[in-house]
């Protein structure tokens, strides 16, 4: 009687999806794939006041970027649609009424002022946690306290009301979380949560239970912030009579701020000096911008790998995993319990690893596009050599061009510090000789021949190469550091090297 595994990612379209949400989506995806099940997405937009245009597209694009798209979603519906709760609005009321009929829920007519007054009263009476519960509901305006006729009249008159769950007074609620084990909570600490709001929309609590049931969700994998309301959800499954198909819960550890404490939040934006969102985002209301990992130069597979390891590990010492390998290695049992601080240095390291192992064919576009942006072109026959020379030195794709620009565009100025320290008569003499030698050099000019020619030139001039190498580099690249110089020479070719040397000879003045 084992059912097909079906898990869902259920974000609210209230803005950009932050990295914690992305990780939740990833774990859901991995679990579904691992179990040979399905990963679906449901938009939880029951709070119409918090709807943000563009947020849904943002979620879709983020998952697509990472290659973890759901098989059922608002934009690719399966048999359990609609996949937006706002579009399912009509179906919730009957379930709420069912609960009222069964005596597990009731109408409440209290205004927000009355609720506020109740909380103040309780606070003044030093009640530890003022809430609408089995005790206080006896003093409020609801279908439990009001005469049946009055309730009927109020309802008929169109007076606004909510439907609240009637939490039993004295019951032990247990749930077996896949990550945390048994969690016990006493019903007396729960409150009579609103199930249907006065605008006719369900709250999260009702909607997620009804939808998960209707969508035959088998496992609910979500953030730890939901753990406190999980007992309520268990109770609701019981009240509906759906206990035998209740999904198994797994509450993921939170993603914490890298410094100090607290969970990583959307508002952390760029304040931390790195992105907390997958993609760039501009808030349509405030115009506030937040940068994304994608635009920040993180490769999707590297980012995914990094994300997977935030709270999970394979149990052995492997670190680098493709998506398929993650699926293969994944298990909920290996997800940790404690909160995870977000460490951007590790994310960079992953990016470097992926960049280095990527075939050049996947890197070419980064290089040529950046070059083009500056009006320069990388000759096709040099691309391969340039990439090989430079890709071990970069963290982001954009570094590729920054590190190799000097190979395409000759220096027009020289690093002053290096010039002051290293430029001297010996260097100038050697370079002059070398340029002359290059003029008549006809063999294939690779790194090895560039080197032996330089060595023999130095020998005839009676100059120690080691003393002038920095100056040679400076003359040809304008800089004091960079990739292997002889490889650079080989890429540049004899005439370009000679040309650059002569320019340097004419430009740099000997101080010492």
Let me know how long the chain is.
512
Sequence-separated contacts (24+) of 462-469 with Cβ below 8 Å: 463/426, 463/429, 463/430, 465/430, 467/426, 468/422, 468/424, 468/426, 468/427, 468/430
Q: Write out the E strands in 145-247.
A: 162-165, 172-177, 181-186, 194-196, 219-223
In the bound complex, what is the minimum distance in angstroms from residue 152's beta carbon to RNA? 19
Q: Which two tokens stand for residue 503?
A: 């320019």
Preceding amide of 82 cis, omega within 30? yes
Q: Which is nearer to RNA, 50 or 372 (CB)?
A: 50
Q: Where are the beta strands (DSSP E) in 160-306?
A: 162-165, 172-177, 181-186, 194-196, 219-223, 248-252, 255-256, 281-282, 289-290
Residue 225 or 377: which CB sits closer to RNA? 225
* DSSP type of residue 108: E
Half-sphere exposure of 293 (CA within 13 A, CB side): 27
Strands 38-41 and 6-9: parallel
Least distance (Å) from RNA to the CB of residue 1?
A: 29
Q: Considering beta carbons, is residue 261 or 509 the nearer one to RNA?
A: 261
Of 64 and 199, the one with the shorter C-beta distance to RNA is: 199
Token readout for 382 is: 């040099």
Q: Hey, CA dihedral for 124, 127, 133, 137, is it positive or negative?
A: negative
Q: Look up residue 103 and give its DSSP letter.
A: T
Smallest separation, CB 180 to RNA (Å): 5
> Of 173, 183, 261, 260, which is closest to residue 224 (Cα–Cα)?
183
Q: Report the 10 Å Cβ neighbour count for 366.
A: 20
332-345 as b/e, with b when 16 or more CB fall inside 10 Å? Answer: beebeeebbebebe
Nearer to RNA, 34 or 263 (CB): 263
Q: Which of 141, 266, 391, 422 is catalytic?
A: 266
Give least dist CB 256 to RNA, A: 6
The C-alpha atoms of residue 44 and residue 276 are separated, in whole angstroms, by 21
Side-chain half-sphere of 187: how many Cα atoms within 13 Å? 17
When the beta carbons of 113 and 443 are compared against RNA, the nearer one is 113
Whole-number minimum distance, CB 171 to RNA, in Å? 13
Nearer to RNA, 81 or 223 (CB): 223
C-beta of 146: minimal distance to RNA in Å? 15
* 346 labelled catalytic: no
Closer residue to RNA, CB minimum distance, 256 or 435: 256
- Tell me the CB-side half-sphere exposure of residue 160, using CA atoms within 13 A: 8
Q: Provide, rounded to whole angstroms, the least separation between the CB of residue 2 and RNA.
A: 26
Instruction: Tell me whether residue 348 or residue 499 sits nearer to RNA (CB atom).
Output: 348
Nearer to RNA, 246 or 335 (CB): 335
Would you say 467 and 400 are in contact if contact means Cβ atoms under 8 Å apart?
no
Q: Residue 102 CB, nearest distance to RNA (Å)?
A: 21
**487 CB-side CA count, 13 A:** 12
Q: Rounded to the nearest whole angstrom, what is the least distance from the CB of residue 264 to RNA in the complex?
A: 9
Q: Which of 79, 14, 6, 19 is nearest to 53 (CA)?
A: 14
Q: How far is the CB of 22 from RNA (least distance, A)?
A: 15
| 181-186/194-196 β-pairing | unpaired
- DSSP string for 395-445: SSHHHHHHHHHHHHS--SS--HHHHHHH--HHHHHHHHHHHHHHHT--S--
The set of catalytic residues is 266
């Amino acid at each position: 009687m084992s059912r097909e595994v079906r898990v869902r990612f259920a974000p609210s379209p209230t803005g950009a999806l932050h990295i914690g949400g992305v990780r939740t989506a990833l774990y859901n995806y991995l679990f579904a794939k691992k179990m040979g099940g399905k990963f679906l997405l449901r938009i939880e937009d029951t709070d119409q006041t918090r709807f943000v245009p563009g947020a849904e597209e943002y979620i879709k694009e983020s998952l697509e970027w990472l290659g973890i798209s759901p098989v059922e979603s608002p934009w690719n519906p399966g048999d359990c649609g609609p996949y937006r709760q706002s579009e399912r609005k009509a179906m919730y009321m009957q379930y709420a009424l069912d609960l009222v009929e069964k005596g597990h829920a009731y109408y409440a007519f209290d205004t927000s002022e009355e609720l506020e007054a109740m909380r103040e009263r309780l606070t003044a009476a030093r009640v530890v946690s003022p809430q609408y519960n089995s005790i206080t509901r006896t003093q409020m305006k609801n279908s439990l306290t009001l005469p049946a006729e009055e309730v009927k009249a109020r309802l008929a008159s169109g007076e606004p009301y909510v439907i609240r769950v009637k939490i039993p007074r004295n019951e032990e609620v247990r749930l077996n979380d896949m990550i945390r084990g048994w969690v016990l909570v006493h019903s007396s600490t729960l409150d009579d949560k609103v199930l249907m709001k006065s605008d006719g929309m369900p709250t999260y609590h009702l909607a997620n239970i009804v939808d998960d049931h209707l969508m035959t969700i088998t496992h609910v994998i979500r953030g730890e912030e939901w753990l406190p309301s999980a007992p309520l959800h268990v109770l609701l499954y019981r009240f509906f009579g759906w206990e035998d198909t209740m999904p198994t819960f797994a509450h993921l550890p939170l993603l914490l701020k890298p410094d100090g404490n607290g969970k990583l939040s959307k508002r952390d934006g760029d304040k931390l000096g790195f992105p907390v969102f997958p993609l760039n985002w501009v808030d349509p209301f405030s115009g506030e911008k937040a940068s994304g990992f994608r635009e920040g130069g993180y490769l999707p597979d590297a980012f995914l790998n990094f994300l997977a390891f935030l709270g999970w590990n394979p149990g052995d010492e492997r670190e680098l995993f493709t998506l398929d390998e993650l699926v293969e290695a994944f298990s909920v049992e290996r997800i940790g319990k404690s909160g995870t601080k977000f460490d951007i240095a590790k994310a960079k390291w992953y990016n470097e690893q992926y960049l280095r192992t990527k075939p050049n064919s996947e890197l070419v576009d980064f290089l040529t596009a950046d070059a083009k942006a500056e009006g320069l072109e990388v000759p096709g026959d040099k691309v391969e050599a340039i990439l090989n020379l430079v890709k071990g030195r970069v963290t982001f794709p954009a570094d590729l061009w920054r590190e190799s620009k000097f190979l395409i565009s000759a220096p027009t100025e020289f690093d002053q510090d290096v010039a002051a320290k290293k430029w001297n008569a010996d260097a100038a003499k050697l370079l002059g000789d070398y340029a002359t030698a290059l003029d008549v050099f006809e063999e294939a000019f690779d790194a090895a021949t560039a080197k032996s020619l330089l060595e023999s030139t130095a020998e005839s001039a009676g100059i120690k190469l080691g003393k002038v190498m920095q100056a040679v580099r400076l003359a040809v690249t304008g800089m004091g550091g960079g990739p292997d110089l002889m490889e650079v020479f080989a890429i540049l070719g004899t005439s370009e090297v000679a040309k650059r040397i002569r320019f340097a000879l004419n430009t740099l003045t000997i101080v010492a």
